[in-house]
Structure 1
């Protein structure tokens, strides 16, 4: 080819390249890619680089990591600076394990080849290409090289060299370089001056939209470290980082919106950000969403939705969420009732360090849910070891084992000793110890002392203890002392947290005949709540209220339905009432 033809060809290629780039940038990516691919096949390194990027981004062609990597490699071998940087990035992020861009005998293989398997970072190849691109003046590659030298395997780590490349990149005003310098300064207890320099670099890094820089500035502002304590500024930085998919920032910003800290309170936006963080594997956010839906905020509680988020957090070993999910399975709220599933989630929570769950877990296993004799024996042994070391939850569970004959024959006397010890700090043990004193199990009956221990558990919020204490106050079983008003209060507290027996008793007190104001509308409401949970006597009472119009509204059809349900559960009065109604 003559010199004149070569010049004409070059001019023509340049014009086609510019035309292709124009198409790619103006919404006609398919046309642009068609031109680029022809130029790339002819050996144009800029076109080869752009074809590689098009494949990575799925621009004008279906996305393909493998095809993108191959074309970038082609351009990089011709020392295309950006291609070398992007290729280095791909190696550091990781290519599929069974994928090779180049083989020893075949050279570059541009033919499509299916690949599979997990990504495998290759810091050595990343170092090779990043170093060449950095030497060619790529500020992005210089920052990447600093990262590789900081975080790569020991044989290539070099903190001094990393610092040099970060500073060189930052001097060229590269956002990643500024971030690298800041992270390097913050590594080891920086002086006040170093902290200020780091904060300045982080602020420059935010100009390039780096989420990590926004997040770090948010942490500094929230905790008053290096930057002044400023929750409004922290909220701003977290919001910016959250928008850039930084999970920690999404969680923190969601919580700030929920609590109205540094930003105006907004439940809807809080839920949106917590949801995004949860779906990005933040267990704490998932657990918080579970609490939000379980307790209700601007909207009524949604237990089904709460169960979904508790499960997501529990599957990541979040102790509180696992215990909450166990309780839902135990009570059948938001999920089908399943003691075995409850046992599993209490076990997860206990293993993650939730002390209350350890007690719940022991109780469930000891009552037969989901445990073989071998498992129970092993469990008892673990309780013995824990109790011997002074663990109060272990002492409580050991007491239950001895009382119920789990792992051996029952021994009420030894059981009451362990239960008494556990009662010093375990609410469940306070209730059990009180019942043992009341019933004279392994010890001489002592109703007064029993009353005090059950009262202690009730005041600590244990709903079973609240129901038991209320019953004692209604019947006057302890020294003839009756206090219906106080009993009503305990029934109410237990009913409001979902205790079905408390719902029934509260409704009965509202129904009349007790030393509290009669309110049959409230009585019917609580009978209904308990009936919907399957409580047979509540179903009978709700049926009677509806059939007879005791709360002011008569609905014989619905009343018949509840009476029939009560009858099916073996309540004879349900059958009698149905016969009368018929």
Structure 2
């Protein structure tokens, strides 16, 4: 039996909601506002609909899911923008309800047309990043701009960052900084962190670590430690001041930024917290805090210790067994690492096993989104293309699926088959007129020069010389 408490005004819609919820085995507690209301606006019922939708995240049974969907569909059909937004995002993304991108998009568009700000932000981000929608910077700017005009701090933050960097939208630093500052002035700690990260990396603005830190400290005063976690992580890996980095990361973790404990465990494992045994002795304590904070990747770090023999005997089979056990317990990060290791091997104690990678994807695929399952499957197929004659058809298959294109998938392709990734980069650069060499998948001097130029043009790395062979950079250039 599932229950939900609904606060609802009187009226015919409330009667329909009660009937639908009861039909699904849900109990309804109504608290009526003073005075009768013959008509109800979308705003009046929005809190009720949100509470109804929230039950979808509480392990509902099939009857409860059908009932909640019925309530949302009834309200959406009646023109309720909040119902259109809630149901639309579920259908677009395949959350709990089966995915139906067309229906989800139509509902979100209807809500956005009715000036529903959250729907405008969702569509803006979807078109900006290709989140179950085709990448369309013009539409992204339109939706985010409308939401920003309506006062959405999130829209100001996302749009502001894009205008500052020019990553997806035409660069307009002055407007971008203005939007960011508006969000910060309105108390948006995430805007402080987003702008701080730009100053930390020098992406679109001068590189000013102290300005970044001041913004992160401002967010920390509001109880958000994620900026300090990013700053402490960068400081730790720079090895400039290990003690200070550790102190900052501890502060971030205590503020609820669980990724800080993961950074500390990672640094401890590789000797970045005081060096050698002193550093490695700190791993267990930070690993326990990372686990308590729900950081799934701690299982991956523990497997890496086993793989490389850090404070234990190196063993490829034990590494795979650790990852498999964590995946069986529902750890998606461990499942993904298992698939990648089986697909690629590690050139030490784990051999490439594509059949094993496919079996692992079949076994643990439910831990991933539909999109990620297809991306992993294609990356395994891509790993088998071993000559230029095989690159062309594989590149055509990938190019025909723009809905799958993002930097993560590009990085997976670069890991699975670097030659295929460079073949596709050569194709792209030749089409753009910035490369005139052979299209063969080899990282020739001419290819590397063109890739470095493209990296600098798109500002994807602080070091576009040495880093252009990194899968993360290749992937971002390839499919981002």
TM-score scaled to structure 2, two decimals? 0.49
Higher RCO (CA-CA < 8 Å; seq separation 6+): 2
User: Larger radius of gyration, structure 1 or 2?
Assistant: 1
